[in-house]
Amino acid sequence: MSPIENKTTLKLGVLALQGAFLEHIHMLDNLPTVSEAIPVRNLEQLQSVDALIIPGGESTSMALIAERCGLLEPLREFVKTKPTWGTCAGMIMLANEATSAKKGGQQLIGGLAIRVNRNQFGTQKESFDTKLHMPKLVGETPFHAIFIRAPIITDVLSDDVKVVARLEQKVGQTEAETIVAVRQGHLFATAFHPELTYDNRLHSYFVDMALECHSNN
């Protein structure tokens, strides 16, 4: 067996250019399947990790900083093969297409065959939380999902993309059954902020998913 097939723990990175990266690192530090969790700010750090989380924040700023740091193209290469999870702004960054972008548009990492709408729920004042049922990911107990200036997935662009969570209630002008989490092979995305809760079940799910992806390669 190759060394990667023998892995029982992984080194996780959290993109730390902007946004809520420390909260993700704190979550990962408590998981026994994570050997180390580090902030990723440069190419050397990116190349050292087995999987990556792209956190919430401001996707336009994140893209601009990544481009200035010379990380945008390496990130695009990374997500082609390595397990990656985008939360909120990170989901926008992973999407192949985004609507409601700021004037002039923005760069995306891409790789995930979805179209997202930025800031679907309005301003910070329209933030909300709700219970999501995701039994295949976290078991039967609903997950407390926090939405802050959140995007939604408006279109799934490939049969490879599997919907894993939908809103179960109407929020403002957003209809119930809106897609808020998907998985496409080694890529995972959520419109909400699991790192702002005390519930590490989704972080555990992602690390287990990453271990499975590595063992299959």
- Confidence grade of residue 4 (pLDDT, cut at 50, 70, 90): very low
The catalytic position among 23, 24, 186, 195 is: 195
Res 51 pLDDT > 70: yes
Q: Residue 166 in contact with residue 91, Cβ under 8 Å?
A: no
> Catalytic residue at 88?
yes
Kindly report, residue by residue over 102-149, the tens digit of the pLDDT. 655 678 999 999 999 876 665 555 678 889 999 999 999 999 999 988
The catalytic position among 88, 186, 203, 213 is: 88
Q: Residue 121 in contact with residue 149, Cβ under 8 Å?
A: yes
Say which residue the tokens 């060394």 belong to: 3
Local structure of residue 150 (DSSP, 8 states): -
C-alpha–C-alpha distance, residues 60 and 69, integer Å: 14
The closest of 179, 182, 187 to 210, measured between CA atoms, is 187
- Torsion on CA atoms 199, 201, 202, 204, rounded to nearest 10: 130
The catalytic position among 186, 193, 203, 214 is: 193
Retrieve residue 173's tokens.
Answer: 């002008």
Number of structural domains (the chain) is 1
Average pLDDT value over all residues in the chain: 88
The length of the chain is 217
Specify the pTM: 0.91
Tell me whether strands 84-87 and 112-117 are parallel, antiparallel or unpaired: unpaired
Residues 6+ apart with CB under 8 A from 76: 109, 110, 111
Instruction: Residue 122: give its domain's CATH number.
Output: 3.40.50.880
The boundaries of the domain holding residue 191 are 3-215
> Catalytic residue at 195?
yes
